[in-house]
Structure 1
């Protein structure tokens, strides 16, 4: 037995050493192809100083336009997240071991959610821009699909972690499957669902800004335009407004989580 353990330990150590060398090699190769040299970093710091000198003070002449654009960005994130969360609830039930009707449905649902989750949101944005055109609608659909993969996974895991007691108690009274879901599963998982959904909103607001850079509407379009026209003073105004909105959303989300959980 001791000899077998030593052999297993030696094998694991060998795999660990080999894996470490591979990761180290990939890291060094990544640094090399990125050309992260001290000279390049110092040169970049100089150009960053030039950017700041042109960006400060920020230009507020178009602040009202930017306000409406960032409102669109927030609404994109909110609507997309709500749609994604609502779609995630039935998907999570189908993907969970203790609520799925059978193994085939569970595996198909899990694989579908995994496939959706592995595709970056920028790729989804490009697909929807091609499908339905430029504008917030493409951004909303992108965020909805992205949150379907994100929330679907975490909702499913939370449902599987639930204690069986409440479910068994309702089952013993002859409650239907729908009654068990509404009376035991959802109430027990509700705090976790809320926490995950609030985090999804925070994530979606940041994503919505980036989605605008590829034509999905919102403040990202204004930011991209300002940078292309070298209007760095306007770009700084947009960046500050984005920071304020993201910070405010995180504070509100934190307060809601504290009250619910």
Structure 2
């Protein structure tokens, strides 16, 4: 009598896990089906529209390599947008992350205030920030740079705060016991403990900002994006093809350089 009873007890958790897994699978399938319906997915349209895509590709060849000279300044603008947005974002996000980290914040009002700022700047997309700044300062690279900076504050502030919260508090406690002041603890314990991680995150954010700066050009923020939008509106598909090649080369080089620099600070 005891053996069947033990078998039922042993098999109970396994059966419950199977039921939960099956239920999760059903939910996942249902979510995908409703997504398929909501987005009005029509795979057959890709087949019927293949001729139109092939026509655009044929008109894009060969790429307009004679546009190399006029593209240099937009490329520089795109890179500078990412540099400006990343540097300003780091400078503003770092002190904000100190206030937003539970283990080093001066008090709860500072903590909740910093978290609110980080949440607002992070939740609003950089494209929306660019539209707001374009209406404020006009067209050009400056509103795009401001948009990247503000959005970077939210993204970097959250990541920086998480790194600081997960840091080893041993050096901080040791310096505190020796009677060191708050500034000394910060400069000699907090900063050395988190600096490599923060630099890696900042370099990764630069990579993201470079890609975002390409899209911000579509709202008049300068760079390759603005030149690409102009070429598309004028049906200059050969120029579009060349700009896509330039974009690919630029993003690929930025990824490799960023990965190399992150490996140095890791």
TM-score, length-normalised on structure 1?
0.90
Q: Distance in 2 between matches of 1:44 and 1:211?
A: 29
Which of 50, 54, 57 is equivalent to 2:59? 54
Q: Choose from 86, 99, 124 the match for 2:91.
A: 86
Work out the CA distance in 2 between the residues paired with 1:162 and 1:72: 37
Pairing 1:68–2:73 present: yes
Per the alignment, residue 165 of structure 1 pairs with: 170
Moved more, 93-102 or 176-185: 176-185
Unaligned runs of 5+ in 2: 1-8
State how 1:24-43 maps to structure 2 within 5 Å: 24-43=29-48
Q: Secondary structure at 1:134's aligned position in 2? A: coil
Of stretches 221-230 and 28-37 in structure 1, the one that deviates more from structure 2 is 28-37
Cα deviation for residue 227 of structure 1 reads 0.8
User: CA distance change for structure 1 residues 229 and 102 in 2, over 3 Å: closer, same or farther?
Assistant: same
Q: Provide the C-alpha distance between the structure 1 equivalents of 2:167 and 2:38, rounded to a whole number of angstroms.
A: 47
Work out whether 1:248 is the aligned partner of 2:253. yes
Distance, in Å, in 2 between the alignment partners of 1:196 and 1:137 is 24
Using the alignment, how far apart are the partners of 1:142 and 1:117 within structure 2? 11
CA drift of 1:24 comes to: 4.1
Q: Report deviation, 1:33.
A: 4.0
Partner of 1:232: 237
In structure 1, what is the equivalent of residue 114 of structure 2?
109
| Bigger radius of gyration among the two | 2
- Residue 229 of structure 1 and its aligned partner are, at CA, apart by 1.0
Cross-structure match for 1:258 = 263
Change (3 A) 1:45 1:34: farther
Cα distance in 2 for partners of 1:94, 1:173 equals 24
> Unaligned 5+ residue runs, structure 1?
none
Deviations along 1:83-127, one digit per CA (max 9) or x if unpaired, are 001101100000001111111210221122112211111111111
- Name the residue aligned to 2:6: none
Shift of 1:138: 0.4
Classify 1:116/1:16 alpha carbon distance in 2 versus 1 (closer, same or farther; 3 Å).
farther
Q: Give the structure 1 partner of residue 199 of structure 2.
A: 194
CA distance in 1, matches of 2:71, 2:62: 17
| Aligned residue-pair number | 256
TM-score, L = length of structure 2: 0.88
Q: Which residue of 2 aligns with 1:223?
A: 228
What SS is found at the alignment partner of 1:36? coil
User: How far, CA to CA, are the matches of 1:142 and 1:15 in structure 2?
Assistant: 43
Distance of 1:94 and 1:16 partners within structure 2: 44
Q: Report the alpha carbon displacement of residue 30 of structure 1 after superposing the two structures with TM.
A: 3.0
Match of 1:212 among 208, 217, 223: 217
In structure 1, the partner of 2:142 is: 137
